Amino acid sequence: MGIQLEKPKLFPERKTFIWFVVISFFLLLIRLFFLYSDYNEFVGKPFYYTEVTVLNAYKKSKNTKTYTVLKLKSKEGLTFYTTTHRKENFNDKYLRLQIFPDKHISFRDYLGTFYVKSKIKYQEKIPKTDKNSLLNKVALQHSNKQMASFYNAIFFATPLDKILREKIALLGVSHLVALSGFHLGILWALVYGLLLLLYRPLQQKFFPYRHALFDVGIVAMILLGLYVWFVDYPPSLIRSYAMVFIGWVVLILGMELLSFTFLVMVLLLLCVVFPSLLVSLAFWLSLIGVFYIFLLLQYTKEWNKWMITLWVIPIGIFVLMLPVVHTVFGMTSSYQMLSPLLSILFIPFYPLAILLHLLGLGGFFDTYLMKLFTLPTQSVESLLPLWSVLIYGGLSITAIWYRKVFYVVCGLATGYGIYLFMLT
């Protein structure tokens, strides 16, 4: 048997890691200082004129009056909501707005998403783009608008139909619809695998001295980067792309990859570059999910790899995330127990759905999916108090160093899951 050398660590000495954390915090504070100056200027003026793109538009009613809620993105990069009583269809429109910010918009809201009063000065149709063309091509393959919304959401990160979003939440598979590391991981495997099939024969014949991980990886990273840009940088996808990119670099350097220092490094770097991620719920849930994957892998790495991939990760993440998710989202249905199975089935479904849409057969699964989405008919509300999830989070972090604490965390999450689904 050959001797297996231990891979070098990202931070060989603790003090190196501490210095990295300190410098990152310092840089983050500088970024936040300049953003806070921009915020004060924004809320200090009585009004602004800006051009915005309509991300989503839907009707709401209050006291028998109907109005339209608009989710907008300005040319300055701000995302916010406003309302209007005008009756036009605002989807796929550019608007020129007069907005009236005030001190009710907090700095946290400014970094994330806020509500502001406005007046629409004029509107125009968004010129036809490659993305719009692809969205239309996907939509035309479905007679049901909800199915068109579903596929455009999982392919291009477009807003999901409101009614369908509620049905999917009852199934506990919202993470499968919102583009995240799960999707990017599938796409990485697909792109890297296909490129490697083309690369291997050429490598063996013309350049056997080349490193496939570097050559194929750099092309795959460029293609995935273009995809993230194309779908307008969803926060969870930014985190995922950064992890894939840094992970790829770490693998090339032959260093330890699956470590919590790696996760902290990615977190700090992303927050320095994109401070708005600090207030993104999708980003934090995505990051916590990766944390629990790392925790599971740490204590099951000796197990069969197929068992880990097909059972340990899907079921483990579902159970361990229950207390976290139910601190924010209270909606609970017994059908949410299907989530691990549906997560496993989504792995082959996603590339197959892409292929079917490329062939013009995108509606193949529509009947089955609509039956699946209409299964849950009722739900209960169950929210955990903040103090309980803080204790759970503290134990989860402690479990990095102590196996027994890891078992306690698994027991707490499992017990809560049993209690939760007994309610339904």
What are the DSSP calls for 95-155, one per residue? EEEEEE--TTS-HHHHHSEEE-EEEEEEEEEPPP-HHHHHHHHHHTT-SSHHHHHHHHHHH
In the predicted model, is pLDDT for residue 257 greater than 70? no
Give the confidence band of 40 by pLDDT, cuts at 50, 70, 90. Answer: very high
CA-atom Rg of the chain in angstroms? 23
pLDDT of residue 53: 84
Tell me the residue type at 303. W
Span 353-365, mean pLDDT? 92
Phi, psi of 65 (to 5 degrees): -100, 140
Element (H, E) at 55: strand 48-62
* Average predicted confidence (pLDDT) for the chain: 86
CA–centroid distance for 28 within its chain: 22
Report in angstroms the alpha-carbon separations of 199 from 189, 193, 196, 212. 15, 10, 5, 8
Report the distance separating Cα 247 and Cα 184, nearest Å.
13
- For 181, residues 6+ apart whose C-beta sits below 8 A from its C-beta are 236, 237, 239, 240, 243, 244, 286, 289, 290
Element (H, E) at 250: helix 235-252
In the predicted model, is pLDDT for residue 250 greater than 70? yes
pLDDT of residue 394: 95
pLDDT above 90 coverage of the chain, percent: 30
**109-156 pLDDT, tens digit each:** 999 889 999 888 888 777 767 777 888 899 899 988 889 989 999 998
- Determine the Cα angle at 14 with ends 303 and 25, to 5°: 105
Give the confidence band of 3 by pLDDT, cuts at 50, 70, 90. Answer: very low
Give the confidence band of 321 by pLDDT, cuts at 50, 70, 90. Answer: very high
Span 88-117, mean pLDDT? 87
Residue 281 vs residue 253, higher pLDDT = 281
Span 252-269, mean pLDDT? 80
Closest CA to 238 of 315, 201, 184: 184
Span 79-85, mean pLDDT? 88
Report the distance separating Cα 244 and Cα 187, nearest Å.
11
Span 311-325, mean pLDDT? 90
Phi, psi of 72 (to 5 degrees): -125, 155
In the predicted model, is pLDDT for residue 398 greater than 50? yes
Residue 154 vs residue 254, higher pLDDT = 154
pLDDT of residue 6: 55
Give the confidence band of 397 by pLDDT, cuts at 50, 70, 90. Answer: very high
The model carries a pTM of: 0.83
> Pairing state of beta strands 79-84 and 113-115?
parallel
In the predicted model, is pLDDT for residue 76 greater than 50? yes
Q: Is 82 exposed, middle or buried (0-12, 13-18, 19+ CB in 10 A)?
A: buried
In a 13 Å sphere around the CA of 195, the CA atoms on its Cβ side amount to 19
Span 256-270, mean pLDDT? 82
CA–centroid distance for 55 within its chain: 17
Tell me the residue type at 323. P
pLDDT of residue 354: 93
Span 405-414, mean pLDDT? 94
Give the confidence band of 392 by pLDDT, cuts at 50, 70, 90. Answer: very high
In the predicted model, is pLDDT for residue 2 greater than 60? no
In the predicted model, is pLDDT for residue 4 greater than 60? no
For residue 234, the tally of other CB atoms under 10 A from its CB is 20
Report the distance separating Cα 147 and Cα 262, nearest Å.
38
pLDDT of residue 239: 75
Phi, psi of 266 (to 5 degrees): -65, -45
Report the distance separating Cα 234 and Cα 182, nearest Å.
13
3-state class (DSSP) for residue 380: strand
